[in-house]
Amino acid sequence: MKIAFPVENGLICPHFGHAPEFVFVEIKDGVQGKRETETPPKHEPGVLPRWLKENGTDVLVSGGLGSRASEILVSQGIQVITGVTGPIDQAIAKLIDGELKGTGSLCSHDHGDCDH
């Protein structure tokens, strides 16, 4: 399973579309494997969900994202966990232990047609 985390200053970014980098972590049989940091493409509608899918993402763990981005990700078979904050390692440990709970909240401020 490949997990994507939008990251800013070493923490899970509160805004999916504004993250300066993404950390991809592979988890297999409850063990953390390969970990990579990538710079995302320019923020434009639909670009980040497509980029995540192309990178083999199975799960996105984010502080927040817009409803349109969430819809696109889910339609591509990517599980979305929102409302998660703090250090990535803490979220990974909770995910492995089956204890990671997002709030399910989506950003409600107006981004027009933006995917957050």
Backbone φ and ψ for 63, nearest 5 degrees, come out as: -70, -50
Q: Quote the CA–CA distance of 93 and 66 in Å, as a whole number.
A: 26
> What pLDDT is recorded for position 101?
81
> What pLDDT is recorded for position 84?
93
Q: Quote the CA–CA distance of 46 and 35 in Å, as a whole number.
A: 25
Task: Give the DSSP H or E segment for 48.
Answer: helix 47-54
> What pLDDT is recorded for position 60?
96
Render each residue's pLDDT in the chain as its tens digit; 116 residues. 999 999 999 999 988 888 999 999 999 999 999 999 999 998 788 899 999 999 999 999 999 888 888 899 999 999 999 999 999 999 999 999 988 887 665 544 444 333 44
Reading the block at residue 107, the tokens are 């950003």
58 closest CA partner among 72, 45, 76, 42: 76
Q: Is 85 helix (H, G, I), strand (E, B) or coil?
A: coil
> What pLDDT is recorded for position 113?
34
Domains and CATH numbers, the chain: 2-96 (3.30.420.130)
